[in-house]
Every structure is written in structure tokens, then in C-alpha cells.
Amino acid sequence: MPLKKGDWVRVLSLDREGQIMECLRGGELKVAVKGLQILCKEKDLLFLPDGPQDEESLKKSKSKSKKGNPRVEAASIDLHGMRVEEAMKWVEERVNQALMEGADALRVVHGKGTGKIQASLHRYLRGLSVVKRFKIDENNAGVTWVYF
């Protein structure tokens, strides 16, 4: 049975629930997960016929899924030479990709420059519930580390 708009699913690589917001070309699905919209393939999702699960079910499934889902090393993106709008588009896409790949962290190289990209980046990251924390690299103020 193909998934459709409105269905509740579990994004396997994130071990989080979400709702399908849109079915796109090429078999991709846009899934809303805690305020973040993620592009997924159907194979990356588990259909939840009864809707969102209760907290007890979530705890059980999390303990099972972590054993077979090894985390990936940090991903990276370089925003040098981009304008703020373009950079933020790339950051959103790369955050989604890093999460789907199971990355623990994302290294964002934004440079020092005027600080506009860094300010926009940090404002964006504060609004993402999937981001545990972020910080400026201790050795390079033109890099921000994002932890999931």
C-alpha cells in the first residue's frame, strides 16, 4: 500500500515520528518531523497505521533501533561565496541529508566576513528541535559545529 499525504510514519534513520505533508516526484515524500520538513524515500519510512505512538511504545522502539543503526561521522558543508538566502537553502538541505544519513554532527563552514550568514545560521538552528546544540569551532571562528 503506497503512503499518502496525512499518513503517520516513523523515519527510521532518525527514529522519530512524522506526518507525510506531500508526495513528490521520483518517489520522494516530504515528512514533517517536529517542525522540520525532511525529504525521504518510502523505504526510509515505517507506516504507523494507528497514528502517533504513545511514549511507552516510543521508548521500546528506540531501545531496539539504536542497536542496529550505527551513527555516521560528521558531515560538512562550505558556504563560502554564497548569499544568505542561498546559504540557508543549502544548510536546510544538508541538515536533512545529515539526519537521514544518521550523522552525529554537521560542520558548517560559513567564514567570518560580515557575519550575516553566521547570524542567520544560528537563528535557524535555534528553531530546530532536532539540533541538540551548536557552537563556534574553538580554532576557527568561521566554522559552526551542529550536534544532533
Q: Where are the domains of the chain?
A: 8-65, 75-147
CATH topology for the 8-65 domain:
SH3 type barrels. (2.30.30)
Contacts of 58 (CB under 8 A, 6+ apart): 17
Indicate the range of 59-68, 75-84, 98-107 predicted with least confidence.
59-68
What pLDDT does 53 receive?
66
Element housing 11 (H / E): strand 8-11
Nearest to 99 by CA among 52, 33, 9: 33
| Phi, psi dihedral angles at 11 (to 5 degrees) | -80, 110
Element housing 55 (H / E): helix 55-65
Question: With a threshold of 0.75, does the pTM exceed it?
Answer: no
Mean pLDDT of the chain, nearest integer: 81
127-136: average pLDDT? 92
Burial category of 87 from C-beta neighbours within 10 Å (exposed 0-12, middle 13-18, buried 19 and up): buried
What pLDDT does 54 receive?
54
Residue 67 has pLDDT above 60, yes or no: no
Quote the cell numbers at residue 58. Answer: 516510543
101-129: average pLDDT? 91
What pLDDT does 27 receive?
81
How far is it, in rounded angstroms, from Cα 16 to Cα 143?
28
What class does CATH assign to 75-147?
alpha beta
Pairing outcome for strands 75-78 and 45-47: unpaired
